[in-house]
Amino acid sequence: MTMYFSAEDSPTTPEEQLGFFIEFWRGIDWRAIASSLIVLLMQIALALIIFFILKKVGHYAIEMVFKRYMKEKKTVPNRLNTLYKLSKNSYHAILYFFLVYTILELLGVPVGTLVASAGVVGLALSLGAQGFVSDIVNGFMILLEKQIDVGDVVELSGVLGTVEDVNLKTTKVKDFDGTTHFIPNRSITVISNRSRGDMRVMLHIRLFPQTDLHSVRSVMERINQEWIPKCDEITIQPKEIAFVPIGSGQIAAQVIMYSKSGTEFGMQNLFYEKYVDALREAGIDLPKINLDIQNP
């Protein structure tokens, strides 16, 4: 129903305005609007149902593929977790993109026109997106070259911790004090991965200069013979007990061994306690400040 009004015919009094509104309200085809709205809601609901089905099926398929691949190829678990999280994130991103695209199309939004016009906007923002592109390129190279995996102990941009997630944009590292760091891939220039080989465990037990070094060596060698066979984490046993000067008129008994990656700190603490307890039980005096555990 179409109505035209000239300047003279336009309602001026409150009664005329009310009558015009009532006539306009009655002229709306509410049944057609309700039918269109119901159809639209049903289409959106169908799109959401398909989305959740595809999400569940895709998630199940990804898990089955990776479980079978790990069983057949015996892949390193850390590497598998990295590829598994990356596959899930990529699949979810694609699904959400098509869901939003479908809903916008159903709502009548000209997505094609928006995408075409986005080229102009993208050109204007290209200079500001250089950092984002650098993140993507660097992240792709990190994953392609298998430089880090989920679960590795690494040092990135001055942050030492365990890798929790690796994607094309950022790398998530959890510090040993519990802090979670989100590091942009473009800022990663040097990667120090401590999980790709055996780690050094070096301990210094400080001694007084007048200490009987022969007795110290005997006690510490006895601890090594007793405890190293019990520790499967130790990969290379200490070759000798060395004595080195550490300044301030003191010397230290130095022990160097190697353990599996991720176990070096536990081995440091264990053998330090065993050495100190055994030396004190043997009657060997130690300086009051004796803690000197070197970083692996």
pLDDT digits (tens, 9 = 90+) for 239-286: 889 998 887 777 899 999 999 877 888 899 999 999 999 999 999 888
**What's the mean pLDDT in 190-211?**
86
pLDDT (0 to 100) of residue 295: 44
Which residues are registered as beta bridge partners of 180? 174
Inter-CA distances, 17 with 2, 4, 8, 20, 39, Å: 17, 14, 14, 5, 34
3 state DSSP class of 287: coil
Residues 6+ apart with CB under 8 A from 76: 149
pLDDT in tens, 117-167: 555 455 444 545 567 777 778 887 887 777 888 888 888 888 888 888 888
User: Greater confidence, 290 or 145?
Assistant: 145
**What's the mean pLDDT in 205-219?**
90
For residues 271 and 281, give the distance between their C-alpha atoms in angstroms, rounded to a whole number.
Answer: 15
User: Greater confidence, 290 or 270?
Assistant: 270
pLDDT (0 to 100) of residue 215: 93
Dihedral of CA atoms 185, 189, 190, 193 in degrees, nearest 10, equals 10
User: Greater confidence, 218 or 90?
Assistant: 218
Backbone φ and ψ of 245, nearest 5°: -75, 140
Buried b / exposed e along 138-156 (16+ C-beta atoms within 10 A): bbeebbeeeebbbbbbbeb
Confidence of residue 47 (pLDDT cuts 50, 70, 90): confident
For residues 79 and 102, give the distance between their C-alpha atoms in angstroms, rounded to a whole number.
Answer: 35
Buried b / exposed e along 33-54 (16+ C-beta atoms within 10 A): eeeeeeeeeeeeeebeeebeee
pLDDT (0 to 100) of residue 56: 87
**What's the mean pLDDT in 72-95?**
69
Q: Of 17-31, 76-90, 129-143, 244-258, give the range with the top mean pLDDT.
A: 244-258
Closest Cα to residue 212, out of 277, 155, 283, 138? 283
- The residue assigned the tokens 């030396």 is 279
Tokens of 217: 């060596």
Whether pLDDT at 220 is above 90: yes
